[in-house]
Amino acid sequence: MEAYNLRILIASDVYPPQPRGAAKQVQLLARELSRRDHEVSVCTTAIPGQPKYEEDNALKIYRLQGFFSRIPFLYRDPVDRFPPPLKDWLLARELRRVFQKEKPDIVHANGWIVYSIIPILRESNVPLVFSLLGYETICPASGMVKKAAVCDMSLNHRCIPCSRELYGLGLLGTAKSLAVYFATKANKSKLKSVDRFIASNSHVKQVHLRHLGVDEEDIVVIRFFKYAPAMNGQTEMAGDLPQDFVLFVGALIPVKGVDVLIEAYQKLSTRTKLVLIGVKRHGYHYKSGEGILLVEDAPDDVVMQAYQNCRFAIFPSVWPDFPTVAIEAMSHKKAIIASRIGGFPDLVVDKETGILVPPNDVEALSDAMRYLLENPEVASTMGQKGYERWRRLFTPEVAVARIEKLYQSLFEDAGYCKEVTKA
């Protein structure tokens, strides 16, 4: 197979400075592809206070505003004004403008923005890759969770009351739940235009195989990745961290297992603190307390310092998660306690690089924490083995090379006649 320097357009609902793991993963991919001499452009949703266009070295970033993002009462968070699960005609017009300017060889989409770019691609033979970074194409609430338990139900009218917990219980929340449900149901068939799906782990692949009705070979598993951690010394905020602590990093919401973690920690008799670092979400409020330190909206250097200094990391999600934070912990040589759910079993080798516990099991989580606190040498050994596993499986050299190979294959299958520079 020939190797080409491609023009790649990445279309994503989220992108930094949005504080989401998916946003950071898209940025890492875009930067790495650009570093490998591909011509990369990113189209994402506009954020108040951010420039409509900027360059990150050779990487071009377009922040586009659709019709729906101009209606502020539709969104609880002004930073999360991503498109709905349908074609946004104004966003599609802006995407077409960038598409005609950049003339991509490959389009790689993430999130509901895909519905606004599919009509453009139908007019060309440009291949479309779609990353399954969430469950938003098959679940109106995006999480495949019902009442803090994994939901395996097919898309139907019972999704409406479930998604009201996300969109709000008032009249507006009900209207949004209805709209998202019917749009998700109506537009699911449009995903047949996708040439290849990328799933972040085997669980995500199996869930989408069941619900999208695509063939096994249509979904490729390529795991998230993380650069080696860069430590630039102690930061000012990091000086507020305790000397001895265990660490949680993630959104501060119940489905991430925050309530379970606090209850499990309170069962321990220990001087080791519990540090919770994350993004505060609408409707959920946690506070620092005895033995517990809450750090909201911390900058990346503080998070990295916390990984470096903690005893081990804990990710007790109760929903089928996409655990980029676990990869960060592995890159810092930290043992991991995580729920046996979603992508964690793909990352954590139970009893070797960490401990897997049943989701929502306070006693099992407390026992696992107690064991690693009482056996620090075991935690250290697990952390080292996790680091070695990260080096083998979760670095850009491994993951992005596979994505490049997928792009090259689809590019050649498209039968382009235009001139493209060979790498």
Would you state the structure tokens that stand for residue 248, as one six-digit string? Answer: 């949680």
In this structure, of 26-35, 168-177, 300-309, the range with the lowest mean pLDDT score is: 168-177
What is the DSSP code string of 223-243?
----PPP---S--TGGGGS-S
How many other β-carbons are positioned within 10 Å of the β-carbon of residue 271?
10
Give the pLDDT of residue 357.
97
Alpha carbon distances (Å) from 5 to 11, 12, 38, 198, 422 = 19, 22, 5, 21, 6
Gap between the Cα atoms of 167 and 165, Å rounded: 6
Tallying the residues shown for the chain, one arrives at 423
Per-residue pLDDT reduced to its tens digit, 167-199? 666 776 677 778 888 888 888 889 989 999 999
Gap between the Cα atoms of 1 and 347, Å rounded: 31
Whether 395 contacts 226, CB under 8 Å: yes
Would you state the structure tokens that stand for residue 309, as one six-digit string? Answer: 């200094």
Gap between the Cα atoms of 201 and 375, Å rounded: 30
How many other β-carbons are positioned within 10 Å of the β-carbon of residue 421?
11
Whether 207 contacts 144, CB under 8 Å: yes
* Region 125-151 average pLDDT: 78
Res. 101 pLDDT band, cuts 50 70 90: very high
Per-residue pLDDT reduced to its tens digit, 371-419? 999 999 999 999 999 999 999 998 888 899 999 999 999 998 876 544 4
Angle between helices 362-374 and 376-393 (to 10 degrees): 100
Using CA of residue 250, residue 137, residue 405, residue 45, what is the dihedral sign? negative
Residues in CB range of 96: below 8 A, 6 or more apart: 120
CATH class of the domain at 7-154+184-225+395-413:
alpha beta
Query: 20 phi and psi, to 5 degrees?
Result: -120, 145
Gap between the Cα atoms of 69 and 140, Å rounded: 18
Alpha carbon distances (Å) from 415 to 125, 126, 410 = 9, 10, 9
Closest CA to 260 of 369, 145, 382, 386: 369
Gap between the Cα atoms of 371 and 70, Å rounded: 51
pLDDT at 22 over 50: yes
Give the pLDDT of residue 421.
53
Gap between the Cα atoms of 53 and 257, Å rounded: 37
Round the average pLDDT of the chain to a whole number and report it.
Answer: 86
| Residue, of 70 and 423, whose pLDDT is higher | 70
User: For the CA atoms of the chain, what is the radius of gyration?
Assistant: 21
Gap between the Cα atoms of 169 and 12, Å rounded: 28
Give the bridge partners for 289, in sequence order: 292
Gap between the Cα atoms of 81 and 90, Å rounded: 14
- Residue spans of the domains in the chain: they are 7-154+184-225+395-413, 237-393
Give the pLDDT of residue 238.
57
Gap between the Cα atoms of 103 and 24, Å rounded: 25
pLDDT at 123 over 80: yes
Specify the fold of 237-393.
Answer: Rossmann fold (3.40.50)
Give the pLDDT of residue 349.
96
- Percent of the chain beyond pLDDT 90? 53
Res. 24 pLDDT band, cuts 50 70 90: confident
In this structure, of 153-162, 174-183, 281-290, the range with the lowest mean pLDDT score is: 153-162
* Region 94-117 average pLDDT: 96
Using CA of residue 292, residue 293, residue 296, residue 302, what is the dihedral sign? negative
Give the bridge partners for 422, in sequence order: 4
Question: Is it true that 7-154+184-225+395-413 and 237-393 share their CATH fold?
Answer: yes
Res. 73 pLDDT band, cuts 50 70 90: low
Closest CA to 153 of 167, 138, 166, 169: 138
Closest CA to 14 of 142, 123, 126: 142
Res. 263 pLDDT band, cuts 50 70 90: very high
Give the pLDDT of residue 419.
47
Beta strand ranges found along 209-281 (DSSP E) = 219-221, 245-249, 273-278
pLDDT at 236 over 80: no
Amino acid symbol at 226? K
Gap between the Cα atoms of 303 and 405, Å rounded: 33
Give the pLDDT of residue 366.
98
Per-residue pLDDT reduced to its tens digit, 207-217? 889 888 899 99
Give the pLDDT of residue 72.
67
Would you state the structure tokens that stand for residue 2, as one six-digit string? Answer: 């020939």
